A and B are shown apart, each in its own frame.
Chain A
């Protein structure tokens, strides 16, 4: 049965790493769908395959086997340049280590993904200001990352991910480098974006943060071992 709302469809996705004589199955037949407007969390201990899955979702890596459809289009067999184009336009990335460039201002960091698209500067300006507005960092436009707290830096990184108006936001342990107050604030921000319509897939090993999502898939040894919805998680 076709699900026309599925933004992401993973079919029996496997990833095998071969080193000398050992084969490591980082992912073994992972299968799930993510609908437009959903907020999905991928949980599991370190080494369970979370980061490999996120890399494949973000077109930073290709599966050994299986199929991946993004917005109805199969993306596993695409050429390098085509993958780069989709990655830069359709996917917004948020990383644990923020990935801001230290000698660019907040404004310039957020503008960065837009400069690749040959977008007119007036349009870039509008988008940068709008996304900084959304994360509450418009007043820090001219600051450099070193002048901001970790939580503020992550807000800027979220704004950068938003500025390109992506189909989906991928967040890899977005609170990993933050204290709990700042971590909580970033999670609230993601929740707000979700309520405003963004589709989000977040990887975390912290069960407190999984509860912010609509549903959670639990990975273990490269397989989905459990799927839970927010309601059941928060009432346990």
Chain B
């Protein structure tokens, strides 16, 4: 589903180049659940931003499904993102003046789903994530864990093939984190490909495999155990 070859991401500082990612080769198959790990500053979030087409300043080859992303214009990339990708962020990114229902409806409104169909789709999502009773509440009336469940419901409401999650449990305590990981596990069992960035070994254990990054390079094993 994803194929990266020789992907570099760097910033120009006058004559010098600072590399954030260096010669990244990676393959992620459809239906996989993959974790990206590494110390802070290793380039994890940058890599996720490239996969999600939020970042255009890279070089190399990136194939998503049958599309050669490096050859696409920004507008076409945005369309790919809309069609195939759902995002989950550490800080939820819910809108505080919209209800749970309205927050989940957002991706449908910018995907031009007719409003007659939206209600059914949103209600399905509320049902699936057991938050029917919360539909008219606002984010501030929910716990952090519940807010993240809503954010995940929003990420999957338009039925993406790929979920990208950046530290999805970073603001949660361990019981809530477990619940979120179980949700991911279920979505993955249903066929959704998931790529998550995390610092947590416990969260990583839910995935099929781990890609380790260090100083912008992919390394074979956990850099922490290697240096020890």
Interface residues of A (CB under 8 A from B): 51, 55, 58, 60-61, 80, 84, 87, 91, 93, 95, 97, 99-105, 108, 112, 115-116, 142, 144, 146-147
Least CB distance, B179 to chain A, in whole angstroms = 22
Given contacts A93-B96, A115-B109, A146-B49, contact A103 B54 (CB under 8 A): yes
Q: Chain B's nearest CB lies how many Å from the CB of A200? A: 16
Are A112 and B74 closer than 8 Å at their CB atoms?
A: no
- Contact indicator B140/A55 (Cβ below 8 Å): yes
**Which residue in A55, A58, A103, A116 is a CB contact (below 8 Å) of B87?**
A103
Give Cα A101–Cα B96 distance, bound, in whole angstroms: 12
Contact (Cβ within 8 A) A91 B97: yes
Give the top 4 A-B pairs by smallest Cβ distance, nearest first: A93-B97, A103-B87, A144-B54, A115-B109
CB contact between A99 and one of B85, B95, B110 (< 8 Å): that residue: B95
Given contacts A104-B110, A105-B78, A108-B110, contact A99 B94 (CB under 8 A): yes
* B interface residues with partner A (beta carbon < 8 Å): 49, 52, 54-55, 74, 78, 81, 85, 87, 89, 91, 93-97, 99, 102, 106, 109-110, 136, 138, 140
Does B89 lie within 8 Å of A102, measured CB to CB? yes
- Residues of B within 8 Å of A91, CB to CB, are 97
A58 touches B54 (CB 8 A): no
Question: Are A60's CB and B78's CB within 8 A?
Answer: no
B-side interface mostly: loop
A60 in complex: contacting residue of B106, B109, B138, CB < 8 Å: B138
Across the two chains, which residue of chain A brings its CB closest to B99?
A84
The residues of B that contact A93 with a CB separation of less than 8 Å are 96-97
User: How many whole Å from A148's CB to the nearest CB in chain B?
Assistant: 12
| Best-buried of A51, A60, A84, A91 by chain B (most CB within 10 Å) | A60
Chain A residue nearest to B166 (CB atoms) is: A102
Complex CA gap A101/B99 in Å reads: 15
Partner of A100, one of B49, B87, B93, B97: B93
Residue of B nearest to A172 (CB): B96
**With A87-B97, A104-B110, A108-B110 in contact, is A97–B91 under 8 Å at CB?**
yes
Residue in B closest to A99 when the chains form the complex, CB atoms = B95
Q: How far is the CA of A51 from the CA of B78 in the complex (A)?
A: 37
Give every chain B residue within 8 A of A142 (Cβ-Cβ): 74
Pairs A–B under 8 Å by Cβ, sample size 26: A51-B140, A55-B138, A55-B140, A60-B97, A60-B140, A61-B138, A80-B136, A84-B102, A87-B97, A93-B97, A95-B96, A97-B96, A99-B94, A99-B96, A100-B93, A101-B93, A102-B54, A102-B87, A102-B89, A103-B52, A103-B81, A105-B78, A112-B95, A115-B109, A115-B110, A144-B54
